[in-house]
């Protein structure tokens, strides 16, 4: 079976790919840093069947995105040969989609790039070349008011032609897809790079898209995590348990939320009410040492604690606040006594992991759709569990449900 590798632009998106992988496929996320080598990636590929490289480009300027993607692909292809590269992008088109995918297309000299953004589980659908969230076009959805990455354009083509005038767009509309998924040829002239945007609403539609993609044998694809289950991974036995992750009743659990998405804010409110604890709020002016001491005392007293950023995103630099959250967690847990964490928001997850010296995350299971649980080890050798949730995923009770499942309180 041919091998695929995945590049993700943020860490929670990388974890969502793990959650969507075919049953039985072992996987690992590798944070691509200055310490990552081709040897590192080659070793990962000997141990797992699916590797996701987190290049963490969502908050980077265009030139830095291009360099990061090019570097990661160079390392990957120095380590192994890949039949396919899948660029995982946000299903609501937040972040520098055009730069992220365009850099890979340039590196691989791709001629055709299928774009598959539907994620039926989360109500994300593509129809008429536009992206919808639970039937509402993006510009009318809550994501239009996203405090960090507002999305005011549901036409997918607009997100792929920015800065790439040499790229052309082709749409495979739903009626055409459902008639014959492989009958998509066109005699129209095209430019050097062509993005093929697929309509899809259901999982059956994604199956049809997979048929077309397989018939074309495109090396480079991009889209939401939901399409990962249609990729091919090497099928060989790997001796590792990937299903048991419940904490003991004495386990210490920390929730860290840097996402200021309205959904995440509602979820933190619900979790605070369920746990009956005070939220430690980090802001630009708050003292890291004081915040860390509050967390430590909360964990010692109740075994549960919540750390989040201020809910006024316009007042702060989100990356600096994410770094601050990571440093706070490290100072609050110098002895590695936190058994598990739930981290909300990709940027936050990256800085929490790097502050603890975590470079790789091995998939252990899911606590809900799109919410993966990973086993990780820091520089001190402490192994713990970490559940990663994109800020905009899930309903009001998503964090409460995740915490209950992580603690083994419900099946």
- Are residues 179 and 292 part of one domain? no
CA 275 to CA 277: how far, in whole Å? 6
180 contact partners, CB below 8 Å, separation of at least 6: none
- Are residues 397 and 287 part of one domain? yes
Give 96 or 65, the one with higher predicted confidence: 65
Residue 383 lies in a domain: yes
For 47-66, what is each residue's pLDDT tens digit? 988 999 999 998 899 999 99
Q: What is the mean pLDDT of the chain?
A: 87
Residue 244 lies in a domain: no
- Are residues 320 and 220 part of one domain? no
- Output the pLDDT for position 84: 87
- Output the pLDDT for position 314: 56
- Are residues 287 and 192 part of one domain? no
Residue 388 burial by Cβ neighbours in a 10 Å radius (0-12, 13-18, 19+): buried
Does position 238 have pLDDT exceeding 60, yes or no? no
Say what percent of the chain tops pLDDT 70: 88
- Are residues 194 and 272 part of one domain? no
Helix 346-355 vs helix 318-332: crossing angle, to nearest 10: 40
- Output the pLDDT for position 316: 62
What pTM, to 2 d.p., does this model score? Answer: 0.89
Residue 130 lies in a domain: yes
Q: Which residue has the tokens 């030139």?
A: 63
What is the pLDDT confidence band of residue 185, given thresholds at 50, 70 and 90?
low
- Are residues 175 and 118 part of one domain? yes
Domain range for 348: 253-406
- Output the pLDDT for position 75: 95
Contact 53, 8 (CB under 8 A): yes
- Are residues 212 and 177 part of one domain? yes
- Are residues 315 and 181 part of one domain? no
- Are residues 301 and 218 part of one domain? no
Angle among Cα 104, 30, 28 to the nearest 5 degrees reads 110
Which H or E run includes 384? strand 383-389
Residue 240 lies in a domain: no
How many domains is the chain partitioned into structurally? 2
What ranges in 134-283 are assigned the alpha helix state H? 174-179, 203-216, 262-275
CATH number of the domain encompassing residue 318: 3.40.980.20
- Output the pLDDT for position 312: 67
What is the pLDDT confidence band of residue 209, given thresholds at 50, 70 and 90?
very high
Say what percent of the chain tops pLDDT 90: 59
- Are residues 258 and 304 part of one domain? yes
What ranges in 316-391 are assigned the alpha helix state H? 318-332, 346-355
- Output the pLDDT for position 95: 82
- Output the pLDDT for position 218: 82
Residue 242 lies in a domain: no
- Output the pLDDT for position 216: 79
- Mean pLDDT computed over 30-39: 95
- Output the pLDDT for position 241: 38
The CA distances from residue 406 to 99, 101, 301, in Å, are 36, 34, 20
For 333-375, what is each residue's pLDDT tens digit? 888 888 899 999 999 999 999 999 999 999 988 887 768 899 8
- Output the pLDDT for position 73: 96
What is the pLDDT confidence band of residue 150, given thresholds at 50, 70 and 90?
confident
Residue 143 lies in a domain: yes
User: Closest Cα to residue 89, out of 146, 10, 29, 33?
Assistant: 10
Residue 238 lies in a domain: no
- Output the pLDDT for position 236: 44
- Are residues 203 and 66 part of one domain? yes
CATH number of the domain encompassing residue 27: 3.40.50.10840
Calculate Rg over the CA atoms of the chain: 21
The residue from 176, 199, 230 where one domain ends is 230
- 155 DSSP 8-state letter: B
- Are residues 263 and 190 part of one domain? no
322 contact partners, CB below 8 Å, separation of at least 6: 258, 309, 345, 347, 348, 350, 351
Q: Which residue has the tokens 């830095």?
A: 64
The residue from 230, 245, 263 where one domain ends is 230
Residue 360 lies in a domain: yes
Residue 67 burial by Cβ neighbours in a 10 Å radius (0-12, 13-18, 19+): middle
What is the pLDDT confidence band of residue 249, given thresholds at 50, 70 and 90?
low
For 124-149, what is each residue's pLDDT tens digit? 999 999 999 999 999 999 888 877 78
3-state DSSP helix/strand/coil % of the chain, to nearest 5? 40, 25, 40
CA 365 to CA 371: how far, in whole Å? 9
Can you tell me whether residue 260 is helix, strand or coil?
coil
- Output the pLDDT for position 394: 84
């Amino acid at each position: 079976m041919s091998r695929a590798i995945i590049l993700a632009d943020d860490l929670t998106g990388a974890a969502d790919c793990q959650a969507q992988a075919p049953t039985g496929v072992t996987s690992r996320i590798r944070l691509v840093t200055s310490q990552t080598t081709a040897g590192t990636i080659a070793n990962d590929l000997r141990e797992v069947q699916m590797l996701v490289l987190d290049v963490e480009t969502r908050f980077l300027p265009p030139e830095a995105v291009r360099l990061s993607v090019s570097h990661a692909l160079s390392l990957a292809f120095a380590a192994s040969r890949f039949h396919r590269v899948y660029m995982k992008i946000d299903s609501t088109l937040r972040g520098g989609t055009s730069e992220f995918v365009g850099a890979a297309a340039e590196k691989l000299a791709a001629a055709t790039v299928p774009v598959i953004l539907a994620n039926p589980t989360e109500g994300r659908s593509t129809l008429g070349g536009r992206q919808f969230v639970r039937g509402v076009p993006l510009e009318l959805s809550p994501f239009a008011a996203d405090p960090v990455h507002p999305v005011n354009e549901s036409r997918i083509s607009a997100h792929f032609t920015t800065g790439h005038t040499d790229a052309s767009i082709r749409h495979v509309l739903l009626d055409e897809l459902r008639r014959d998924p492989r009958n998509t040829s066109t005699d129209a002239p095209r430019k050097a790079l062509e993005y093929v945007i697929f309509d899809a609403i259901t999982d059956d539609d994604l199956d049809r898209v997979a048929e077309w993609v397989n018939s074309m044998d495109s090396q480079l694809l991009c889209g939401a995590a939901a399409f990962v289950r249609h990729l091919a991974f090497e099928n060989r036995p790997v001796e590792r348990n990937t299903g048991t992750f419940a904490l003991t009743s004495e386990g210490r659990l920390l929730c860290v939320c840097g996402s200021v998405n309205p959904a995440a804010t509602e979820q933190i409110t619900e979790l605070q009410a369920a746990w009956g604890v005070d939220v430690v709020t980090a802001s630009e002016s708050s003292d890291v040492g004081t915040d860390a001491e509050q967390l430590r005392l909360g964990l010692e007293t109740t075994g549960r604690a919540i750390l989040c950023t201020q809910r006024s995103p316009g007042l702060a630099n989100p990356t600096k606040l994410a770094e601050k959250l990571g440093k706070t967690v490290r100072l609050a847990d110098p002895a590695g006594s936190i058994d598990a964490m739930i981290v909300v928001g990709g940027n936050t997850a990256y800085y929490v992991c790097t502050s603890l010296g975590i470079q790789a995350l091995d998939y252990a299971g899911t606590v809900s759709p799109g919410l993966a649980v990973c086993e990780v080890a820091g520089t001190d050798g402490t192994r713990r569990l970490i559940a990663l949730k994109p800020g905009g995923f899930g309903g009001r009770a998503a964090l409460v449900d995740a915490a209950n499942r992580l603690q083994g309180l419900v099946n």
